[in-house]
Structure 1
Amino acid sequence: MIAELRRRAYLSAMQVASWLPRVELPFAAPSRPELLQPAEPDVPVAVEPVAAPVSEAASPSRPEPRAERPKIEVPRPGITARSVKVDAVDEVAPPVVTKPVVAPPPRFALQLLRAGDCALLVELPTGEPLQGRDPAYLLLKDLLRAAGLPDSPQLVGEPVRWPLLARGSMDQGPQVALDYVQSFIAARLEEQPPCSCLWLVGLPAIRFAGDADAEAYNREMQIDELGAAWALPGLELLMDEPERKAELWQAMRRVRQRWLAGP
């Protein structure tokens, strides 16, 4: 019995919960069958262990297996269980702030002319005023003669070049350009005798004076505060694509009655 108690003391000091001798030990208690079964993998247990009965724990004849320590979750400072458990449904993504898309300022140059009872807003492809020997200016003179108007138009004001400012934060987008060109034409026409029709020669003139596009070529339109207008392809486009002239002459026969009849 003394040898058995000593072995138990040695095993407890070495933290050995169960063991199996190779030979039968004198005065040793018989081994329990459950100790001969292979050990199961450790599974964390979050519940309090159940204490063994007093009679079984106090019995010196049976070796008592070492109780497994329960794992205790220690809360960290400043973190609660409610804050740790996050529901994916409750997560709200921060709002995406999109910057407004600012259209780049258009680039064009327009010249306002006067020929008889008509005013002409002509696109300047190079940005410079038309010269007497320019092919584009010679074509414009042919158009005026075919329309029954003086072939030496007079300049009205300075050319309108857009954008107005090379730098700065002022809005110079398409809508601002449209308002500016229409206001410029209205102010210049008030200084002139009444005109029967406003020619819009070139896509920039049609877009930023008539608020239309290329589908308005050779058509008449009515513009608020500017009156009747006629949209024509640009002089450069007519020279590059001569086949457009046939449709232009046909449209001119219909429109020319407006200014030939007088204001």
Structure 2
Amino acid sequence: MIAELRRRAYLTAMQVTSWLPRVELPFAAPSRPQLLEAPEPESPADDEPTLQALRESVAPAPTAPPAERPKIEVPKPAVVPRGAKPEKAEKAEATDEKPDTVRPVVAPPPRFALQLLRAGDCALLVELPTGEPLQGRDPAYLLLKDLLRAAGLPDSPQLIGEPVRWPLLVRGTMDQGPQAALEFVQSFVSARLEEQEPCACLWLVGLPAVRFAGEADAEAYNGELQVEGLGAAWALPGLELLMDEPQRKRELWQAMRRVRQRWMSQAQ
């Protein structure tokens, strides 16, 4: 019994799980018949799939090429040359989006008062310094009388209509800007002159008269103008300006010598 146990220990150490004795062992269990049957030899054709499977299992698997890592591009700051438009501006131009509509700046209505007069063969559109009609003792009216006498015209001019005061309305939706004032003054003077005898020259006394009847500015002072619908005109500084700056009177007298030929020739 001890020899049997030792034999099994040897077999276990040699990793032998199945074995058959060459002779019948005493006190051993009967052998199983299926273990005594000899296995049939396998044909070479049957071995080929087995060998092929064995080779494939032993052969190293083909190595796949390593997957490429995605490249991460770091954006570089763009160098904008001097004078170039910013990127946002270029994108805005490329798109069809229109910028916000900018409302035009509305000029405030001008403020002035004008009086139309008649002295002989000349009509006078005079700026009213105070906004009120000229009075007999006003310094501005006395200066105007001096100018008329020097020009060889009656020194007591006649009023034609009421003074023109602009703006016409304090409130309302009517356009009272510079262009509207120009059109109104020109139409007013033209209509009043048509009611009178033809005049040889229209005096425009003061900047509002020069600007809104003669379509000129202060640079036209002492010069002659040809205004469509009003005829020949003469631009003069305002009466108040002549009193504040007496040196302007010299240029005015010199210009009057040239212009007075317009009405003096008709008087003769």
Shorter-chain TM-score above 0.5: yes
**Which runs of structure 2 are paired with 1:44-83 in the superposition (5 Å)?**
none
Deviation at 1:169, TM superposition (A): 1.5
Larger Cα-atom Rg: 2
- Residue 95 of structure 1, CA deviation: 2.2
- 1:125 positional shift: 1.1
Report what 2:248 is aligned to. Answer: 244
Q: 2:209 is matched with which residue: 193, 205, 222?
A: 205
Question: Secondary structure in 2 aligned to 1:182?
Answer: helix
Equivalent residue for 1:147?
151
- Superposed counterparts of 1:1-263, under 5 Å: 92=95, 95-262=99-266
How far is the alpha carbon of 1:94 from its aligned partner?
Answer: 5.6
- 1:261 partner SS: helix
Between the aligned partners of 1:121 and 1:223, the Cα distance in structure 2 is 14
| Equivalent-residue separation in structure 2 for 1:251 and 1:232 (angstroms) | 10
Cα deviation digits, residues 112-144 of structure 1 (max 9, x gap):
000000000000011000000000000000000
The structure-2 alpha-carbon separation of the partners of 1:146 and 1:97, relative to structure 1 and needing over 3 Å to count, comes to: same
- Give CA-to-partner distance per residue, 1:205-255, whole Å, 9 cap, x none: 000000000000000010001000000000000000000000000000010
TM-aligned CA deviation for residue 103 of structure 1: 1.0
Note the alpha carbon deviations across 1:46-90, whole angstroms, 9 max, x for none. xxxxxxxxxxxxxxxxxxxxxxxxxxxxxxxxxxxxxxxxxx876
Structure 2: runs of 5+ lacking an equivalent: 1-87
SS at match of 1:158: coil
Distance 1:90 1:183, change over 3 A: closer
The percent of aligned pairs where both chains have the same amino acid is 81
Q: CA 1:261/1:167 → structure 2, altered by over 3 Å: closer, same or farther? A: same
TM-score normalized by structure 1? 0.65
Cα-Cα RMSD:
1.8
**In 1, Cα distance between the equivalents of 2:230 and 2:141?**
25
Matched length:
178
Residue type of the alignment partner of 2:189: I
- Report the secondary structure of 1:212's partner residue: coil
Q: Structure 1's 167 and 251: CA in aligned 2 closer, same or farther, altered over 3 A?
A: same
Q: How far has the Cα of 1:175 moved from its partner? A: 0.5
- Measured after TM superposition, the shift of residue 149 of structure 1 is 0.1
CA distance in 2, matches of 1:96, 1:90: 16
For residues 161-203 of structure 1, the C-alpha deviation after alignment (integer angstroms, 9 at most, x for no partner) is 0000000121110001000000000000000000000000000
Q: 1:195 to 1:94 in 2, by over 3 A?
A: closer
Distance in 1 separating the partners of 2:174 and 2:104: 15
Return the structure number with greater helix share: 2
Per the TM alignment, residue 96 of structure 1 is displaced from its structure 2 partner at its CA by: 1.1
Distance 1:194 1:95, change over 3 A: same
Distance in 1 between residues matched to 2:196 and 2:172, nearest whole Å: 34
Aligned to 1:62: none
